């Protein structure tokens, strides 16, 4: 039942809908169709929306008696009074959508409820509202909007080309479709179909439409606590974008922006993603309707959440654990050690026989798993390997950094004992270095490296991390190099982690350093045991995998 809201309620609703461009019309009409529980929504656009927009749905329909009210301002079936504003669970509730459209275009509604034998139609344009009349039509609602802005030429001046206006419509509709998988959506422009998503299909075609072909599979996210649940799909670390525009958020089915949650999303990528790059994907947050204020100004969509901190924690936790899982799975594909090469038969090249003792015991490994064989060092910087399906390249420095960084973090977490040096290593620093070093001493000690002041501008290392693995190499503590690393910006790491990241960076194998085969094998094997093996603490990738299919493309075989 549609009723006109009382003036008091109207006063509490944030300023009304503004129809600024064809997309605004499509939004109002599609949201109405979703509110009417449609399972199929067909959008047809002509001339970028300026000639005609038609949205047809198979939803609940509007009773003939209600048609007149539907196009009146502040008439809605979705809330009855101001109290209703605190638990809105529909996309619309202001009762202004259809009236605002009629004010700037010719509007025709044809609608039929499930129990009616025939549909009814009504026309509205500016102040003129026609009489409802019987009309042929299936159950559901079809709204046709023609001559948009014909009576407000100034609005037309702000519009882009028809194809640009249509592009906005297509991007918005495909994005919205991500949150309504049970609903089929079709979109057509000038008689040509742009997309058709079947109801209840899997999300893949919709994800592809919105994000394009992605370079790595997206990672599913799921998490909840007593009051908030989050799910969704996020990009793999490294497969990211230059801006936040592809971070899509639905709160209770409503497409919104949230600075707070975007922040949580990025924070979850700490140490996974490159500095200055943004993950992309779609998150669905559900919270009790009373926790969100949907009554924000229609053009400002930054959502306000009660208990925002708790929601942030849920979102961050869910994404971080999904990424860890994803990283482990990708590593599983990228690197898995196989039984000694001899088992693989004829292709046991003589050159690798001596590596056998370095490989883990064969029994521990699934015979199905691909053998990753270290083949060579390239440019004294990269480790070249292959598992028969792909060529795998490992950045030796980044990989070792990741290993040492995790070791230091683990030491600190476990309060691991440091190993005292029999003869402390003494070094001098310049005064400006002393300040920087001084600030890191506690964090270094937590990681297991004990450094103390020893005179004016001198320090000494009294203990080193006990379990620090160096792939067979140790280095003297080079403070200048260490402090230089400290200056690297590493977003998302806390102060202690930054110290460990630079300690890791300075104490590991560098690029342009020759590694022996056993060193390479050991490095790769240790990388495998890392929690986040795919990236160094600064976010750069450690492993790049070139699949056979990609190689075939390089040779123009496909």
The encoded tokens of residue 435 equal 């300040």
- # of chain residues touching ligand ADP (CB under 6 A): 24
Q: Report the site for ligand ADP in 35-94 (rule: CB under 6 A).
A: 36, 57, 59-62, 70, 75-78, 92-94
Strand partners, 250: 255, 284
Q: How far is the CB of 305 from ligand ADP (least distance, A)?
A: 22
Considering only 5, 25, 26, 33, the residue that binds ligand ADP (CB under 6 A) is 33
Sheet with strand 281-286: strands edge to edge: 219-224, 229-234, 281-286, 247-251, 254-256
Of 53 and 522, the one with the shorter C-beta distance to ligand ADP is 53
Of 49 and 97, the one with the shorter C-beta distance to Mg ion is 97
Q: Give dist(CA 322, CA 340) in Å, integer.
A: 33
| Helix intervals (H) in 136-239 | 153-157, 162-177, 204-211
If one asks whether residue 252 binds Mg ion (CB under 5 A), the answer comes out as no
Contact pattern from residue 135 through residue 174 relative to ligand ADP, giving x for each residue in contact according to CB under 6 A and a dash for the rest: ------x---------------------------------
Q: In this structure, what are the phi and psi dihedrals at residue 287, rounded to the nearest 5 degrees?
A: -135, 160
Q: Give dist(CA 423, CA 476) in Å, integer.
A: 13
Q: How far is the CB of 36 from ligand ADP (least distance, A)?
A: 3
Question: Which helix or strand (DSSP H or E) is residue 294 part of?
Answer: none
Of 75 and 523, the one with the shorter C-beta distance to ligand ADP is 75
Query: How many angstroms separate the Cα of 316 from the Cα of each of 155, 289, 329, 457, 485?
Result: 42, 21, 20, 43, 28
Considering only 22, 48, 64, 92, the residue that binds Mg ion (CB under 5 A) is 92
Instruction: Report which of 484, 492, 421, 414 is spatially closest to residue 446, judged by C-alpha positions.
Output: 414
Q: Give dist(CA 492, CA 263) in Å, integer.
A: 10
Of 107 and 221, the one with the shorter C-beta distance to ligand ADP is 107
At a CB cut-off of 8 Å and minimum separation 6, what does 13 contact? 5, 85, 93, 94, 295
Which range binds ligand ADP by CB under 6 A, 28-36, 160-168, 303-311, 419-427? 28-36
The encoded tokens of residue 217 equal 């599979």
Contact pattern from residue 19 through residue 58 relative to Mg ion, giving x for each residue in contact according to CB under 5 A and a dash for the rest: -------------x--------------------------
Q: How far is the CB of 174 from ligand ADP (least distance, A)?
A: 20
Partner whose footprint covers residue 94, from Mg ion, ligand ADP, none (CB < 5 to 8 Å by kind): ligand ADP
Considering only 98, 110, 145, 261, the residue that binds ligand ADP (CB under 6 A) is 98
Of 7 and 431, the one with the shorter C-beta distance to ligand ADP is 7
If one asks whether residue 59 binds Mg ion (CB under 5 A), the answer comes out as no
Of 62 and 219, the one with the shorter C-beta distance to ligand ADP is 62
Q: How far is the CB of 223 from Mg ion (least distance, A)?
A: 32
Given a contact cutoff of 8 angstroms between Cβ atoms, the answer to whether 501 and 401 are in contact is yes
Partner whose footprint covers residue 319, from ligand ADP, Mg ion, none (CB < 5 to 8 Å by kind): none
Q: Give dist(CA 339, CA 333) in Å, integer.
A: 16
Pairing of the two strands 247-251 and 458-465: unpaired
If one asks whether residue 505 binds ligand ADP (CB under 6 A), the answer comes out as no
Round the CA-based radius of gyration of the chain to a whole number and report it.
31
Contact pattern from residue 505 through residue 524 relative to Mg ion, giving x for each residue in contact according to CB under 5 A and a dash for the rest: --------------------
Given a contact cutoff of 8 angstroms between Cβ atoms, the answer to whether 54 and 142 are in contact is yes
Partner whose footprint covers residue 281, from Mg ion, ligand ADP, none (CB < 5 to 8 Å by kind): none
If one asks whether residue 9 binds ligand ADP (CB under 6 A), the answer comes out as no
Partner whose footprint covers residue 22, from Mg ion, ligand ADP, none (CB < 5 to 8 Å by kind): none
Q: In this structure, what are the phi and psi dihedrals at residue 117, rounded to the nearest 5 degrees?
A: -85, -25
Given a contact cutoff of 8 angstroms between Cβ atoms, the answer to whether 355 and 518 are in contact is yes
Residue whose CB is nearest to Mg ion in the complex, by number: 92
Strand partners, 461: 425, 451
Of 32 and 266, the one with the shorter C-beta distance to Mg ion is 32
Q: Give dist(CA 283, CA 406) in Å, integer.
A: 29
List the beta strands (DSSP E) in 319-454: 373-378, 382-386, 390-395, 418-428, 450-453
If one asks whether residue 294 binds Mg ion (CB under 5 A), the answer comes out as no
CA quadruple 547, 553, 555, 557: dihedral positive or negative? positive
Q: How far is the CB of 79 from Mg ion (least distance, A)?
A: 12
Partner whose footprint covers residue 70, from ligand ADP, Mg ion, none (CB < 5 to 8 Å by kind): ligand ADP
Of 94 and 402, the one with the shorter C-beta distance to ligand ADP is 94
The angle subtended at Cα 472 by Cα 385 and Cα 393, nearest 5°, is: 15
Partner whose footprint covers residue 33, from ligand ADP, Mg ion, none (CB < 5 to 8 Å by kind): ligand ADP
If one asks whether residue 108 binds ligand ADP (CB under 6 A), the answer comes out as no
Residues lying near ligand ADP in the complex (CB under 6 A): 2, 28, 32-33, 36, 57, 59-62, 70, 75-78, 92-99, 141
Residues lying near Mg ion in the complex (CB under 5 A): 32, 92, 97
């Amino acid at each position: 039942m549609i009723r006109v809201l009382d003036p008091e309620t109207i006063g509490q609703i944030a300023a009304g809908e503004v129809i600024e461009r064809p997309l605004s019309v499509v939004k109002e009409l599609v949201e109405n169709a979703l509110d009417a529980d449609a399972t199929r929504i067909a959008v047809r656009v002509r001339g970028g929306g300026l000639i005609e927009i038609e949205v047809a749905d198979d939803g609940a329909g509007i009773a003939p008696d209600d048609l007149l009210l539907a196009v009146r301002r502040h008439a809605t079936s979705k809330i009855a009074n101001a109290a209703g504003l605190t638990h809105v669970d529909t996309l619309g509730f202001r009762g202004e959508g259809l009236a605002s459209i009629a004010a700037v275009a010719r509007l025709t509604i044809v609608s039929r409820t499930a129990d009616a034998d025939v549909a009814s139609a009504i026309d509205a344009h500016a102040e003129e509202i026609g009489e409802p009349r019987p009309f042929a039509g299936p159950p559901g609602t079809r709204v046709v909007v023609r001559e948009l802005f014909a009576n407000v030429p100034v609005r037309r001046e702000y519009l882009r080309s028809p194809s640009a206006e249509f592009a906005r419509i297509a991007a918005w509709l495909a994005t919205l479709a991500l949150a309504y998988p049970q609903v089929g959506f079709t979109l057509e422009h000038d008689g040509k179909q742009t997309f058709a998503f079947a109801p209840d299909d899997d999300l893949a075609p919709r994800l592809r439409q919105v994000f394009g072909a992605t370079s790595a599979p997206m990672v599913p996210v799921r998490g909840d606590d007593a009051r908030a649940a989050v799910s969704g799909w996020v990009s793999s670390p490294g497969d990211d974008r230059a801006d936040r525009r592809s971070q899509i958020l639905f709160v209770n089915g409503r497409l919104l922006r949230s600075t707070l949650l975007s922040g949580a999303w990025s924070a979850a990528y700490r140490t996974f993603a490159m500095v200055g790059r943004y993950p992309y994907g779609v998150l669905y947050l559900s919270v009790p309707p009373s926790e969100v204020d949907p009554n924000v100004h229609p053009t400002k969509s930054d959502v306000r959440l009660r208990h925002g901190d708790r929601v942030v924690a849920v979102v961050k936790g869910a994404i971080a654990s999904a990424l860890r899982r994803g990283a482990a799975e990708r590593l599983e594909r990228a690197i898995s050690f196989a039984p000694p090469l001899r088992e693989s038969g004829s292709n046991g090249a003589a050159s690798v026989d001596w590596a056998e003792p370095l490989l883990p015991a064969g029994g521990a490994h699934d015979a199905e798993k691909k053998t990753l064989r270290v083949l060579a060092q390239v440019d004294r910087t990269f480790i070249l390997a292959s598992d028969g399906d792909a060529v795998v390249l490992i950045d030796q420095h980044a990989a070792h950094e990741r290993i040492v960084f995790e070791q230091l973090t683990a030491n600190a977490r476990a309060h691991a004992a440091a190993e005292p040096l029999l003869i402390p290593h003494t070094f001098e620093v310049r005064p400006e270095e002393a300040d920087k070093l001084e600030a890191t001493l506690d964090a270094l000690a937590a990681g297991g490296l004990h450094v103390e002041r020893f005179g004016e501008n001198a320090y000494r290392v009294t203990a080193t991390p006990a379990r620090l693995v160096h792939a067979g190499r140790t280095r003297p503590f080079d403070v200048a190099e260490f402090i230089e690393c400290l200056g690297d910006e590493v977003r998302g790491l806390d102060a202690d982690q930054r110290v460990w990241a630079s300690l890791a960076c300075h104490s590991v194998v560098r690029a342009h350093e020759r590694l022996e085969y056993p060193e390479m094998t050991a490095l790769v094997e240790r990388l495998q045991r890392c929690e986040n093996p795919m990236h160094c603490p600064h976010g750069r990738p450690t492993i790049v995998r070139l699949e056979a299919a990609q190689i075939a493309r390089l040779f123009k075989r496909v």
